[in-house]
Chains A and B, each alone.
Chain A
């Protein structure tokens, strides 16, 4: 059974810092890995998708990497801003078009 773990569970940083969120998964048989953002009381917003054959994806200040063999992904956020405050969720896509989610990292960026 796939298990996804995210570290840290919570993170508080001053504005402007570069930060790294970690995600690990136990079964390397995945189709892709997606990073999502969730604001309080809201649904999920897709940030980046990395196919299983890819190593990284970039979008603006966000960069996500994938090492499928070791079961790890990282989300790098450059020059953090207060508007980045949210919960970040990592999810891997397995058989049956099913996403398995990590517990999330709750990020607070202080002005």
Chain B
């Protein structure tokens, strides 16, 4: 069974540009979450989608947005990039069916550098 797949793995952008990152969850998983990892702040929750609906959002500015498609694949977008957005962006998926709180699986991440 394929794991969580994130693309692209590495990218460099210029301040003011926007970026879109993609995530394909494990087959059958309907919950997709996004996290930002930086040396200073550690791992922080961005948002979570389930069946194309955003269920929860972390404390990030509106420049950070996401969506989920009917096949559970998800994208996150960051507009008007700032130097501080340089980070490892991790996608995670879980079945999250009913009230059964399952193991959450992470992808390898997308390394974003803003120059």
Q: Do A and B come from one complex?
A: yes
Give the shortest distance, in Å, between A92 (CB) and chain B (any CB).
11
Q: Does A12 contact B (CB under 8 A)?
A: no
Closest A residue by C-beta to B94? A97
Does B42 lie within 8 Å of A103, measured CB to CB? yes
Among B42, B90, B103, contact of A43 (Cβ-Cβ < 8 Å): B90
CB contacts between A and B, total, < 8 Å: 62
Does B106 lie within 8 Å of A43, measured CB to CB? yes
Does A97 lie within 8 Å of B33, measured CB to CB? yes
Does A99 lie within 8 Å of B108, measured CB to CB? no
Interface residue SS majority, chain B? strand
Does A99 lie within 8 Å of B90, measured CB to CB? no
Q: Does A61 contact B (CB under 8 A)?
A: no
Does B45 lie within 8 Å of A100, measured CB to CB? yes
State which of A16-24, A28-36, A71-79 sits at the interface with chain B.
Answer: A28-36
Q: Does B51 contact A (CB under 8 A)?
A: no
Q: Does A93 contact B (CB under 8 A)?
A: yes
**A interface residues, how many (CB within 8 angstroms):** 25
A93 to B107, CA, bound (A): 18
| CB-CB contacts below 8 Å: A23-49 with B | 31-32, 34, 36, 41-46, 49
Given contacts A43-B109, A104-B42, contact A98 B103 (CB under 8 A): no
Most buried by B among A41, A45, A100: A41
Q: Does A111 contact B (CB under 8 A)?
A: no
Kindly supply a per-residue 1/0 record for chain A positions 70-106, scoring 1 wherever the CB is within 8 Å of any chain B CB and 0 otherwise.
0000000000000000000101010111111111100
Can you list 30 A-B pairs, Cβ within 8 angstroms, ordered by A? A36-B106, A42-B108, A42-B109, A43-B6, A43-B109, A44-B90, A44-B92, A45-B106, A46-B103, A46-B104, A46-B105, A51-B101, A93-B101, A93-B104, A95-B56, A96-B55, A97-B48, A97-B56, A97-B96, A97-B104, A98-B33, A98-B48, A98-B56, A98-B58, A99-B43, A99-B92, A100-B45, A101-B42, A101-B44, A102-B42
